[in-house]
Amino acid sequence: MKNTSHSLLVILFFLIIVSCDKKITFEQQISQDVYQKIASGYCEEDKIPKDAVIKNFKIGEITPIGDTGMIDVALEFDVTDADGNEEHITEAMLYLDKGKDKKMLAIFCEYDYRKQ
């Protein structure tokens, strides 16, 4: 019985450690934000159709802006619409550094973080 209890405690501890380690990287968050905003139609006003296909996605320089807590992120990628028209995009995003978390403040198309 003691052996079983000990084994269960070790397994429970291992599961807690593994589940706490699922935090995504800042680069993964940037990529996820771009894909989600384009898929949601945030950029339709800026001629990037909803659900456009994103190709060759690259994150450029990630630059903290002085002591403001803001971070400028350079992006480069291609988008293809339903008709097969491809456009090369070189833009930037703005994030707020909140300790371990980063909050998107501005994306290259119409977006208001206050509505989130």
Nearest Cα residue to 91 out of 39, 32, 48: 48
> In the chain, what are the domains?
25-115 (3.10.450)
Give the per-residue pLDDT at 1.
55
Residue 12 has pLDDT above 80, yes or no: no
pTM (two decimals):
0.71
Residue 77 has pLDDT above 50, yes or no: yes
Confidence bin at 47 (pLDDT 50/70/90): confident
Decide: 26 and 102 in contact? Cβ < 8 Å.
yes
Higher-pLDDT residue of 102 and 116 is 102
In whole numbers, what is the pLDDT of the chain averaged over residues? 80
Question: Position of tokens 């000990």?
Answer: 6
Summarize pLDDT for 14-25 with one digit per residue, the tens. Answer: 445 545 656 899
